[in-house]
Structure 1
Amino acid sequence: MEKNSDKYNSYLQILKEELKPAMGCTEPIALAYAAALAGKYLETLPEKLEVKVSTSIIKNVKSVVIPNTGMLKGIEAAICAGVIGGDPDKELEVIAYMPKEKSDEIQKYSKTVCIEVEHLKGGATFEIILFAYAKGSCVKVHILDKHTNVVSIEKDGKILKKDLAYTDSSEKNTDRSILNMKDIWDFAQSVDLEDVREIIKAQIDCNMNISIEGMKNNYGANIGKVLLESDVNSVKTRAKAMAAAGSDARMNGCELPVIINSGSGNQGITVSVPVIVYAKELGVDEEKLYRALVLSNLTAIHQKTGIGTLSAYCGVVSAGAGSGAGIAYLCGGGFEEVEHTVVNAVAILSGMICDGAKSSCAAKIAAAVDAGIFGYTMYKSGQQFYSGDGIVANGIEPTIKNVGRLGREGMKATNDEIIDMMIGKE
């Protein structure tokens, strides 16, 4: 792909828009961000807060530990953290840099402040509407479609910010419809590494650091450690274990940042850590590793574009297929090997549900990475899935289109059933 062409610049911009730092699970962090914004404009400590949230927000906030809160979980904890210690200028790192003593303040505040939560049924998949009240004033913050897409801020009925033209946040971003696997491959092969060095290096450093932390200490179900107990010498097992360990740490209060992919830290870990582990095992040079990570990241983003930000379709399936693509390239595969790896991987695992952010995400990551690697192993052995095998269509692009349809449309009812189960509704 020609450097500085429109397509080259668009692909580069997509990477910059998607690979951002975040500390903590991104849905509760979006709530903390909304609360921090409300506190900023209210200019005093809220006495009462009301929040209306879509189904997927409830699902992905319910069971994760909010960093820097003394192990608090849930919507109320995320809001209190944003109000007491949040810096809205840091966006998805909104509570990353607050002083340690704020943890005690957050716990005290959570026991005294009134927070009312309402479930928004139907409508947008990702939506947060937060009201903060104090001394006769009210600030309203509205986030829609993506974690930091603030479409309006109001105070006492006066509009401080309103971007109704961008109620679909995709209008603010580079057009994702230009993504396709052939151009992704070409971009990964031709990109000037200096153009991506900063974001890819940050992904390597951050995501490996949290994976190492997860392996060293006790987080969640310790999936990484369990995997290594069975087969420490296999690079495939180590790739799965390290990625799982990063998720276990992240879901259970670790205060290290990650570089996300498609709005998700777990997807960011899944799409990068296994590729990095394989690169080290194979002894490849930095250039090949960076190109493999460009390929894996864009492959995952391409799949998620059709699915949407949040769905009942587990996002690490797409990320696992992306990591499989990167690993196939590291092992000497060309475009044909990469496209068949992705098709095989999504054929194996598509339909794995997202039932919220929590410790079992680490085990799902291990399964997704395994599917990505096995998709490549299949093709090397002369085996593949063919058009008509379930959702597999004639070629990689129609197959990815089917995945998007399944995740966005086919699993809507599944998402509703999952949330009813999670909140104990018969």
Structure 2
Amino acid sequence: MNDQYTHYRRALIEELQPAMGCTEPIALAYAAAEAGRRLGGYPEEIEVEVSRNIVKNVKSVIVPNTGGLYGIEAAVAAGFVARRPEAKLQVLAEITDAERAEIGRRVKEPMVVRQSNEPDVFFIRITGRLNGRTDTVTIRTYHTNITCIEEDGHKILSEGDRPQEERTVVKWRIADLIAAARVMPLGDLEPCLAAQIEKNLAIAREGLSKNWGCGIGRVLLSRTEVATPLVLRARAWAAAGSDARMNGCELPVVIVSGSGNQGITASVPVAVYAQGLGVPHEKLLRGVLLSDLITVALKQGIGKLSAYCGAVSAGCGAGAGIAYLMDCTDEEIEKVISNALAISSGLLCDGAKSSCAAKISMSVEGAILALDMVRNDCAFRPGDGIVQETTDDTAAAVGRIASRGMVGTDREIIRVMLGES
């Protein structure tokens, strides 16, 4: 389908991918699975080289289908046992009981893990040796981007294997995204959006039904003994999806901007509001479409990994999507996004772990507060802190703060997490 919206459609089809587990440990498992498949077995020696942001996002999150194991060693061991790289971000989805037991044994074996000297924020290089053979797989920039494969010192694949800036697309104007979400043909995007809603609601439902992690979603719902307000339900369901995902749930999530938590945050609150408001199915799809587009646009200036919590961008997207469901004008939706950025942009990313659910809840609350402000004819003015003359300018300012100003903050967060003085 070729039309003026093709670039949005292509970007989202690429973004809206299913993943089982937190995407950084799964990227490690994917690289290990590729190396292990080429070796034909579990290595006798393993070396792992990763950027500090990978350390941050893998350190505390449970790797699914491993029996509750967490950390770099667990993710790498699981990938080498699975050896199913064709599944990409669902590389651990088909682990058998025998393989799970093997992972439990293998993770105790020696493995060399060190921080990379490469300048890439997102960098993984895994080397395995078996029976005199050596295979090395390198991933840069994003989770499935294998840039180099070496076998016995010979490069058999090398595409863009050099320090590089994150991939960028042409900067999208917020007004154009709102207009597109209203009228663009859904076409082959419809099954992607439907899957995002279905799968992400399913893991949220799972998070509410069992005691996953700190149970932020269940805690939120415990606040009232009467009919649960829609805003509280939206916060709770989004948080519950992260409760389950961060703590080893084996249900898949459809990701946005390389993140399952962002995929949940961008879709679940919109779906909860759509159900509460009784809107038609196509309107729900378009609300999630708008949320995804805004999430991706806001992340363009920030990057995949930083000290800036990605749930804020997805929360802004959800606020925009809910505003669309409530028949807000284009101008009102822009004000919602600007207000939400002003309210929630201070949330820090200190890696993937149980507390992500609470940050998702706060991001959704900030976005809905931003919407409530607009519905009461209130909006932050240009000059109020980081708020600029236009929503695009405010988004660019946030991107600048996150990608440039918070570099030192990111390093300090990682030092604290690793116990460095």
Under TM normalisation by the shorter chain, which class is it?
over 0.9
Q: Note if 1:246 corresponds to 2:241.
A: yes
Partner of 2:201: 208
Partner of 1:326: 321
Partner of 2:149: 153
Partner of 2:258: 263
- Report the 3-state secondary structure (helix = DSSP H, G, I; strand = E; otherwise coil) of the residue aligned with 1:409: helix
Matches within 5 A, 1:13-412: 13-112=10-109, 114-121=110-117, 123-164=119-160, 168=164, 176-231=169-224, 233-412=228-407
Partner of 2:415: 420
Shift of 1:60: 0.5
Contact 2:140 2:161 in 1 (8 A): no
Distance 2:162 2:15 in 1: 18
The match for 1:12 among 6, 9, 12 is 9
Distance 1:332 1:121 in 2: 50
- Report the 3-state secondary structure (helix = DSSP H, G, I; strand = E; otherwise coil) of the residue aligned with 1:332: coil
Identical pairs, percent: 47
Residue identity opposite 1:337 in structure 2: E
Contact 1:270 1:320 in 2 (8 A): yes
- Report the 3-state secondary structure (helix = DSSP H, G, I; strand = E; otherwise coil) of the residue aligned with 2:111: strand
Encode CA deviations 1:14-56: one digit per residue, 9 max, x unaligned: 1101110000000000000010011011223201111111111
Distance 1:38 1:296 in 2: 37
Residue identity opposite 1:160 in structure 2: I
Shift of 1:184: 0.7
Contact 1:151 1:167 in 2 (8 A): no
Encode CA deviations 1:228-255: one digit per residue, 9 max, x unaligned: 0113520000000000000000000100
What is the CA RMSD across the aligned residues, in angstroms?
1.4
Contact 2:171 2:297 in 1 (8 A): no
Distance 2:291 2:338 in 1: 14
- Report the 3-state secondary structure (helix = DSSP H, G, I; strand = E; otherwise coil) of the residue aligned with 1:193: coil
- Report the 3-state secondary structure (helix = DSSP H, G, I; strand = E; otherwise coil) of the residue aligned with 1:345: helix
Distance 2:122 2:271 in 1: 31
Gaps of 5+ in 2: none
Shift of 1:383: 1.1
Shift of 1:100: 2.9
Encode CA deviations 1:375-409: one digit per residue, 9 max, x unaligned: 11111111111111111111011111011111111
Could you say if the C-alpha distance between residues 409 and 229 of structure 1 is closer, same or farther in structure 2, counting changes exceeding 3 Å? same
Shift of 1:126: 0.4
Contact 2:48 2:112 in 1 (8 A): yes
Contact 1:85 1:98 in 2 (8 A): yes
Distance 2:213 2:401 in 1: 30
Distance 1:191 1:115 in 2: 50
- Report the 3-state secondary structure (helix = DSSP H, G, I; strand = E; otherwise coil) of the residue aligned with 2:112: strand
Contact 1:146 1:169 in 2 (8 A): no
Q: TM-score, normalised by structure 1?
A: 0.96
Deviates more, 1:97-106 or 1:114-123: 114-123
Contact 2:54 2:122 in 1 (8 A): yes
Shift of 1:122: 6.3
Q: TM-score, normalised by structure 2?
A: 0.97
Distance 1:167 1:97 in 2: 33
Distance 1:138 1:69 in 2: 26
Distance 1:316 1:100 in 2: 34
Contact 2:30 2:88 in 1 (8 A): yes
Residue identity opposite 2:56 in structure 1: K
Encode CA deviations 1:161-200: one digit per residue, 9 max, x unaligned: 11027864866xxx62242111111211112123311100
Encode CA deviations 1:62-100: one digit per residue, 9 max, x unaligned: 111100101000000000000001410011011112223
Contact 1:144 1:169 in 2 (8 A): no
- Report the 3-state secondary structure (helix = DSSP H, G, I; strand = E; otherwise coil) of the residue aligned with 2:187: helix
Distance 1:166 1:242 in 2: 41
